[in-house]
Structure 1
Amino acid sequence: NEQNRFFTSAGAGFRVKVPIIGLLRCDFAYPLDRDDFRFHFALGQTF
């Protein structure tokens, strides 16, 4: 059951404050315990 497991990864990301839109986030991560690559893109603030 993947909902109750912890995963490890390494990566980098950046944040840019864009007028009108707000905070723009872009993250790249490579999982250390699986063989796939993940890209995350989001608008707004994280908590």
Structure 2
Amino acid sequence: MRRSNFGPWFASLPLTRFAFAYGATWAFALSMLPLGYRPFIYFQF
């Protein structure tokens, strides 16, 4: 993925800071996923 695909603020960051910000964004997004298994409601009928 190219850095220029992101906004100008992200593209202007040094590579190490860009990599940290990109990884932190993904870690935050993945932490929002539910952890428990919930079957589809219609499978209970």
Q: Report the TM-score, using the length of structure 1 for normalisation.
A: 0.15
Larger Rg: 2
Q: Select the structure with the greater relative contact order (CA < 8 A; seq sep ≥ 6).
A: 1
TM-score normalised over the length of structure 2? 0.15
Structure number with the higher strand fraction is 1
More helix by share: 2
